[in-house]
Amino acid sequence: MSSSPTQNRSEIAFFHLETTFPTRSIVDFGSILVCPETLVELGSYSTPVRPTDPSLISFPSGRSNVIAPDSVVYVPTFSDITDKVFDVLNGRIWAGHNILEFHREIIKKAFAEIDRPTPEPEGTIDSLALLTQKFGWRVDDMEMATFATYFGLGKQTHGSLDDVRMNLQVLKNCATILFLERSLPEILTMSSWVSGVSLAEGSSGYAGFVEPDEVSISCISPCIVPLFPRSPIRKIKLLHKDVILQLFCSRLIVRFGISTKFVDDAGRPKLSFVVDTPTSLCQVLYACDTVAQNWVLDSGCGSEWRPAVTTKYGPYPTVRLHIPTVVDGDVVQFATDIYKKEASGNVQKLDLSEFDATEIEAMLKRGSFVDAFLSLDPYNYLQSAGIRLVTERLIIHSE
């Protein structure tokens, strides 16, 4: 490292590799050691790497060559830097963007090719998986260059050491935003979603959500995406004018309140409730059902399709809305932001840090009104397929 490493192995080793395409030979290695308590850089190491066959050096369009043709003979091979790379990585926490599916596997392959023991991590931090879970709805994709643009960090150079430092800076920026929003949810969370409209007005001011009346049926289309980044398994998303379709529905009438009859694999109650469905929402969901069901049929799936809109509870059409929960350690929490709207128009976010289904059940009584911000989640599970309506935000009227 450029500064003397400490004797213990507690530092986090952020590292990045540049490789040839498509042969995946390492041509640039860069790493920094970071204090896990302060995230201060303690040292760095980087070097270009000469592959066994220099003619393999090629890069996708838009990436700069790490090794200049006239200097390739002076660049060390991976065998030359093996001891140093092993010392940097072995026994430390590894961190990087897509480190689990890419960088870790490339390191294993490189050491195996020269018959040397592979460094083993004490743990791993994959910023791709972390940012997808915590920050994914804010950016178009999970590429580091996209995050760099989002935060105004400049252009990604695709030099390994520069990319490592950019990766760390992106994580710091994301963590700061999430911390501030968690500390001041009524102010910062609203400001990032609302476009100049007060939430108390009951408007669909949240960016990306549209009212059913605003949906053009002919503009609904399917989009096939990975189940998670770089997964070979595909799932369907529904688009409206080439944007993921999300709906804002105001003053829906609760037909049946919270049901806790079923639990998931972790023992958490599957919370859902049933609302009457206005004609405009019915029309949108009928169209979404048709689009999604046709894709399921074309894929050769034999699952039974379950329409989103049903009349099994009476002569009037209804839909079931789901309130997801998540586990944080031993604590179960709502994954939906839930608000209470007073008759005066004031809206207050409910503090539901401790899971209490009975509290929500008491507010969602038959005949009460709710405003719901909905994501449409097509599913195909255990021979049943359909569209699950997930409440991202729920405003319960107390009138």
Which positions are annotated as active-site residues? 158
| Nearest alpha carbon to residue 268 among 352, 227, 308, 328 | 328
Q: Phi and psi at residue 388, in whole multiples of 5°?
A: -95, 130
Mark residue 349 as left, alpha or beta (left: phi above 0; alpha: psi -120 to 50; beta: remaining): beta
Query: Whole-angstrom distance between the N-terminal and C-terminal Cα of the chain?
Result: 65
226's tokens: 């990975």
| Nearest alpha carbon to residue 99 among 129, 126, 78, 76 | 126
| Nearest alpha carbon to residue 185 among 331, 348, 335, 327 | 348
What whole-number distance in Å separates Cα of residue 114 and Cα of residue 217? 59
The 10 Å Cβ neighbour count of residue 387 is 23
116's tokens: 């040397």
The 10 Å Cβ neighbour count of residue 246 is 20
- In the chain, the DSSP E strands lie at 12-19, 26-34, 41-48, 93-96, 123-126, 209-210, 220-226, 234-240, 243-244, 246-259, 271-276, 304-306, 318-323, 325-328, 331-334, 337-341, 347-349, 369-381, 384-397
